[in-house]
Every structure is written in C-alpha cells, then in structure tokens.
Structure 1
C-alpha cells in the first residue's frame, strides 16, 4: 500500500535541502481542539485541501532531533505542508533556516503566529502556494515510500524504485501510524531519507527511464517476451533511425530490428531474465548493450 513520506535531499559540500511531506500541528494548540461538541474550529477543518495534520509531537521530536533527519546548523530546509508547525519548530531548532510551502493560508497564518517574536522567526520563510505546481526539481513521488526503498526480487520493486535508487541513496527512517494524524488518513505513513548521489551517475535519465518503461510494463514476463510485445520493436526502430540520422550514419533499409533486438538480449544474457529480479547493475548493462548497437529509448 502506498505510504505518505517525507524525504531528505542533500549534496556533499553544499547546503542540504530537505523536504517533510507530512503536515504538522502544534502540541500547544490543544485548546483549539477543546471546543464544545458540534463546534469545529475552522483552522482544523482540513477537508478543503485534503490535509492530515500531524498531532503527535513526539514524532516531530524524534525526526528532527535524532539522527533520522541528520540536521546540521548549516542546513537550509524545505518543508512541504508545514500545517501549524509541529515539525517546523523542531527543525528550526536544528537548522540554519526553513522555507515552508503551505497551500492553506489559514495554516500559514497559524505558523506565522507561532514563531512571531521568537528567535526562530528570522529563520523561517513561508510561501503560500501549491508545491506540486511550483516547478520544483525535487522528487514528486514522495508518497510511495515502500516502493522507493524496495529491492530487486520483492513485490514492490518497480520502475520507480530503480529510477530513484539510480540517483539517490534511499533509507526507510520510520513508520508513522495513521492515528498520529488528524483526521486519520486511510493509509499508513512512512518517513524516508533520500540523499542524491554526488556526483550522479553519467546516465541520461530519459534513456534509463525509457528502458524501465518497457521492461517494467510486464515485470513478471521474460525480458524477451516484453520486447516482443506489440509496438515495442516499431518504437525502437524509429529511435534507431533518428539516432542514425543525428550521427550521419547510413540507414540500411534491410535492417531487421526484431533480429537486432533479439541478438542484444541473447548476447547480454538477459533474454530470459525478468524485470522483477533485475538489479540496477543488470539494467545498466542491458542499456549499455543496446546503446552499443545504436538502439536508444528516448
């Protein structure tokens, strides 16, 4: 089952960037919750934006102050969906500054009030808006925690797993039960840490993802069967012709792309492999074998 997550992103010798996806609330706001029966404080009516507010301050304490977040005094932190700030204030105690992106103006106002007049105020910048529409380059698939950390041969190993793990070191930090949120979501949550590899591998993402798009479309079939599926050979032939034209290579109209693909799969030893069990190294070797024959995926 997909799980909500928060991710950490950092690069060696550069200011770190972290994101916390779980919305947070203050343990000091319990008075707001103690309204009479039938009366709901609008601050905590989260139905408008589908929010689930973290109500357990111990979760925020554990994440921000232990080795989970690995926060340093020089870190610049990006928090997505801070809510009323339960996690935010804990991060502010550890980091240089925090930029919080919150789409609900009511929550942003509560967070502003919370740090007003405090030393943390100068360390906090709040942006009101939808993070998903902000054009940020940070991973947007952060709700699929268990797919991010999945390993080859397991049920959840997928194209997403391979794509993320090619460029990042991914660790599962902790699980956060749904009862720690208000209102309780239908799914359980997890926190994962993603640290981009520095330097990143010299692989074009479009090429690696293009290969993954094909073989993970039928992850339990043999790689040969997947490549023989309708439309795949035709697509690869078109890509091959495009590559030949950009490389000023003569296009032989008698080229049999099906035979060409089968030869790559056979000579590389992956013809009878299944995507569900292929490691990153396997995928990279197969991609390289195709490239040696001028066959590309993007």
Structure 2
C-alpha cells in the first residue's frame, strides 16, 4: 500500500493553473469553505467543517504524548490537525488521493510533517500499523466493516472514537429488549464496551448529510472473551434472523438444519467420531434447545450471556455454526 508523505507525492497532485483558477472561482462562491472542489459524497464521506466540534471529538480520545493514532477517512485534515498537536504519530488511511494531497499540504514544511503518514487505499484491505487510539469520521459505506476490522486487530488498541450515522450508532449501544437490539449490537458488545460520546448535527458537515451523526467511544475488552467470532456470529445470524420469533422457530427456518447437520458431520469427521446414518438431527437440535431452556426465548430479549450459554450447549452436543 503506497505511503503518501513525500514531496514527490505532493507535486504529483498539485492542480494545474487552469484547475487553480477554477478552484479559486468556486471557492469564492462557497462562503470561504475549504476545498469545495472535492466530491466527497463519492466515497460516502462528509467533511466536518466546525473546528470546535472537531477539537471536541479528538479530546474524547484522551490522547497522550506517546500515542500512535490511526485515523480513518481524514478528508481535508480538520480532525488530523488536532491529533498531530497532541499525539506522537498519526497514520491516516484515505481512499481519495486528492484528499491525501490536501492533508499533506496542510503540514508541508511544519514540524507536524514528521509525525504524519498517509496510506492511500481501502481501509478494509490496508495493512494496518500498530496504534494506541483510532479516531474516525467514518465514511458511511464502511461503518460495519470498520468496527469488525478494529475489533479483530492485534495487538489491542486502547480506545476508538468513531463517528457514524446516528441510527447505526444507536444499534451499537442498544440493550436487550430495545427496538435497536440486534445481531450487530450483540457481536460488538461481546468484544467491547460501547457508549455514546456526543451527537453532531448535520449542519456541521460539508456537504450536509441527510441524517444526524453520533460519536461513540469503543473500548476493547482486554483480554477478549475466549469465543471464536465465527461461531458466535453464526448463532446470532440464526436467532436474530427474525428477532421476535422464538429461537425454535428460527432454527426450523429453511436451510438452517441442513447447514448445521453438514457442520456437525464435518466436526465429527475431524474428531474421529462415528456418525450414525439414521440419526434424527432435527430431534438432536430440538433436544439442545429444550435442555438449554431457550427453545421459546426470543432474540429481541436475549442478552449476551444467554447467547453464550446457548452456544455452549450446542458445542457440548458437537454442533457448530462456522
């Protein structure tokens, strides 16, 4: 993945005289907003333009002088400048080379230049360096991939301050029994503590998004629970398939039994167990549900401990979800 911290990169992305003239004309008609020529919505990104809000978001991270920070989607660097003033080093991952060039120009010739590295490319595919803190004005389309990429990163980071659409953020912090409690809520809260840090109105962005935004604070559980994510998510995928239906009904849904039986036979083969040809696998699953006490439970009201206990009951019977 290319790093964009050199003079060569900056020169390569300097606009032509014609482009400068056009940008100048557009800038004069945009009430002084920085760099109106960028079509940020192309990458689902909305530039935070309120400096007070930007500074407050960075303050939520409680940065230390020794911290290495990972920023996702720096845009034109409005958050980046506050990170550079407080942290030891900032690595920013940006999809748009024009944005990366803009951030680079903002620190060109300043002491902060030595503290900044920019990775141009897709955050989901990029090789990430070590970092203590992650701060992100998250592009809409990578909200969920970003969360799980961070939670799977090792070594664990200390804290992440992440801005999402408000609806998505509310799902992250939802509790069992609430309308927003979902598979996403359970998966994230299994591996991290999540809470709301602040709300950010749409008028603080350029261009203004159609939805409100919310900043969340995410702290990984250290040590992480000894649960394979694929197994937990596989179970959650089934029980949250229809969150207000009973667990038994969801397991009886089309295709579920066939998938579980295939997994069970594979597990038995790997562990040198003999599988009887005439075994009633459906009955085996129903027995697990009944004995665990969750047959008539509904995912909408099951907490993480309930899900873990149900997963353990299936594992004891040799039934797996990944």
Q: Which residue of 2 aligns with 1:212?
A: 236
Q: Look up the SS of the partner of 1:271 in the other structure.
A: coil
Task: Measure, in 1, the Cα distance between the counterparts of 2:246 and 2:172.
Answer: 23
Counterpart-to-counterpart distance in 2, 1:162 and 1:282? 11
Note if 1:151 corresponds to 2:175. Answer: yes
Query: Aligned to 2:111, which of 97, 119, 142?
Result: 119
When normalised by structure 1's length, the TM-score is 0.82
The match for 2:76 is 84
Distance 1:194 1:262, change over 3 A: same
Partner in structure 1 of residue 29 of structure 2: 36
**1-side partners of 2:294 and 2:26: how far apart?**
59
1:51 is displaced (CA, Å) by: 2.8
Q: Tell me the residue number matched to 2:45.
A: 51
Match of 2:121 among 129, 147, 151: 129
Provide the C-alpha distance between the structure 2 equivalents of 1:240 and 1:51, rounded to a whole number of angstroms: 44
Query: Could you tell me whether the CA contact under 8 Å between 1:43 and 1:106 is conserved in 2?
Result: no
1:44-102 Cα deviation digits (max 9, x unpaired):
4435444311010111111223xx21212221111111112111111112211101112
| CA-CA distance at 1:135 after TM superposition | 5.9
If asked which structure has higher relative contact order (CA below 8 Å, sep 6+), I would say 1
Unaligned segments of structure 1, at least 5 residues = 1-30
Distance 1:49 1:261, change over 3 A: closer
Q: Say whether 1:292 aligns with 2:316.
A: yes
CA distance in 1 between partners of 2:187 and 2:37 (Å): 38
The residue that corresponds to 1:27 in the other structure is none
Is the CA contact 1:207–1:297 (under 8 Å) kept in the aligned structure 2?
Answer: yes
TM-score w.r.t. the length of structure 2 is: 0.76
In structure 2, C-alpha distance between the alignment counterparts of 1:205 and 1:249, rounded to whole Å:
25
Mapped to 2, the partners of 1:234 and 1:49 lie a distance apart of 39
Over 3 Å counting, the alpha-carbon distance change for 1:197 and 1:39 in structure 2 is: closer
Q: 2:89·2:116 contact (CA, 8 Å) conserved in 1?
A: yes
Distance 1:45 1:264, change over 3 A: closer
Matches within 5 A, 1:233-244: 233-244=257-268
Equivalences for 1:182-261 in 2 at 5 Å? 182-261=206-285
Aligned pair count reads 266
Could you say if the C-alpha distance between residues 239 and 36 of structure 1 is closer, same or farther in structure 2, counting changes exceeding 3 Å? closer
- 2:97 maps to 1:73: no
Structure 2 contact 231–320 (Cα < 8 Å) conserved: yes
Q: Mind listing any 5+ residue stretches in structure 2 that lack a counterpart?
A: 1-23, 135-143, 148-163
Specify the SS of the correspondent of 1:190: strand
The answer on 1:61 being equivalent to 2:55 is yes
Report how far residue 104 of structure 1 moved: 2.1
Alpha-carbon distance, 1:39 to partner = 11
